[in-house]
Amino acid sequence: MEDMKKRKMEEGSNGGGPTSTAATQERLRPLLDPLSKSQLVDLLSRLGSQYPSVAEEIKTIASSDPVHRKLFVRGLGWNTTSETLCAAFLVHGEIEEGAVIYDKATGKSRGYGFITYKHMESAQSALAAQSKLIDGRMAVCNLACEGLSGASTTADLAQRKLYVGGLSPEITSEMLLNFFGRHGEIEEGSVAYGKDTNESRGFGFVTYKTVEAAKKAIDDPQKLLGGRTVIVKLADTHKGRTQQTQLPTPMVQVPGGYMQPGKAHAGTVPVGYSYPQTMASYPASSYSSPTAAPSTYQTHPRFSYAPVPVKKDHPGLSPTPAVGMGGYPYYVPKQ
């Protein structure tokens, strides 16, 4: 305490000019470098609460980058305008810019928008209450720099998001949220509407903040909403059910007891047995080896033939090939 008083007296005697301020900063930097982030945050928080000028300096530095002030808002209704969007978020502070994003080709809303606050603390206030009911639909916001990764992509999301089917056309998103809000706090939810007709498609989704609330909604036997008993189950389960498996080709029986793919023909009467059949094994000694058949042809003695003289070819003529009996060529070996 005495040291602080001495330093204040020294600063007062020096006049507090720029030179003394720079010297003080140079002395403090080596002391601040070893401190952790949490220690620095606690220190600045205490100084900001004690000195308004320090608090204003912190706000100015924090709000200098629009990345910390721009929010991404999804889950908007097709009829939500930029004015409606800004009016819903104006409660948290002054808005610098806000707009719903529209499709350039069709001119219709794409179901999301952006809000940029003037101060970072306003954005932090809006993030503290991520879910907002806008035009009967539950919209959710997060920092725009995080994109969809800043949304509810926690590991237990599959256990918190429910599919609600069999809804009456008169059921609105607000009625849906009020009905399921009795089981716990809802993070996000709405009825699914057609983009072109803006009419209910007969189902919706509800995402609770806790897994316990989702289990209560599934186990609740009272599921009568709008005069209809609705279907409530995990959204991932419903998504997997829509993937149909390919059925095998039907097999029909044709005459002879054999099965083949295709459709049965009219007038085809199946034989009263199936394929493959169980075949009896043959005994090893059922058939004896056949005996040698007696020769029916008489053998004749061999005859020797007299040698055929070889004719000499005349000069200038092509050699005449030797012919044997029956006109077949006769081979004469070289002498």
Using alpha carbons, select from 30, 47, 56 the residue that is nearest to residue 119. Answer: 56
Using alpha carbons, select from 170, 166, 177 the residue that is nearest to residue 224. Answer: 166
Q: Which two tokens stand for residue 217?
A: 């909604």
Residue type, 112: Y
What tens digit of pLDDT does each residue of 24-70 get? 888 888 888 898 999 989 988 998 889 989 888 888 888 888 899 99
Number of Cβ atoms within 10 Å of the Cβ of 327: 7
Distances (CA, A) of 109 to 75, 87, 127, 142: 11, 17, 23, 19
Q: Are 164 and 204 in contact (CB under 8 A)?
A: yes
> Tell me, what's the pLDDT at 246?
41
Residue type, 206: V
Report helix, strand or coil for 261: strand
Domain boundaries 66-150, corresponding CATH code: 3.30.70.330
Q: How far apart are CA 134 and CA 78, in angstroms?
A: 11
Q: How far apart are CA 177 and CA 233, in angstroms?
A: 16
Report helix, strand or coil for 74: strand
Name the more confident of 176 and 320.
176
Name the more confident of 27 and 260.
27
Q: What is the mean pLDDT of residues 331-335?
A: 58
Quick one: pLDDT band at residue 83, thresholds 50, 70, 90? very high
Share above pLDDT 90 across residues of the chain, in percent, rounded to a whole number: 24
> Tell me, what's the pLDDT at 243?
42
Structure-token match 């000499």, residue found:
312
Name the more confident of 311 and 237.
237
Q: Tell me the pTM.
A: 0.53
Domain residue extents for the chain: 66-150, 157-239
Backbone angles phi, psi at 21, to 5 degrees: -65, -45
Distances (CA, A) of 297 to 26, 290, 304: 131, 20, 21
Could you name the CATH architecture of 157-239?
A: 2-Layer Sandwich (3.30)
Quick one: pLDDT band at residue 135, thresholds 50, 70, 90? confident
Q: How far apart are CA 143 and CA 124, in angstroms?
A: 9
Matching fold, domains 66-150 and 157-239: yes
**DSSP category for residue 67:** G
What tens digit of pLDDT does each residue of 115-128 get? 999 999 999 999 98
> Tell me, what's the pLDDT at 242?
42
Quick one: pLDDT band at residue 247, thresholds 50, 70, 90? very low
Distances (CA, A) of 103 to 78, 111, 141: 11, 10, 20
> Tell me, what's the pLDDT at 294?
57
Backbone angles phi, psi at 44, to 5 degrees: -65, -35
Q: How far apart are CA 164 and CA 162, in angstroms?
A: 6
Q: How far apart are CA 175 and CA 97, in angstroms?
A: 31
Distances (CA, A) of 330 to 215, 311, 313: 105, 13, 16
Across the chain, the runs of DSSP E, i.e. the strands, are: 70-74, 95-102, 109-117, 131-134, 137-143, 161-165, 186-193, 200-208, 224-225, 228-229, 231-234, 251-254, 258-261
| Terminal alpha carbon distance of the chain | 141
What tens digit of pLDDT does each residue of 148-207 get? 655 555 678 888 999 999 999 998 888 888 899 899 988 888 888 887 777 889 999 998
Q: What is the mean pLDDT of residues 104-109?
A: 87
**Residue 90, pLDDT above cutoff 70:** yes
**Residue 253, pLDDT above cutoff 80:** no
> Tell me, what's the pLDDT at 139?
87
Name the more confident of 95 and 243.
95
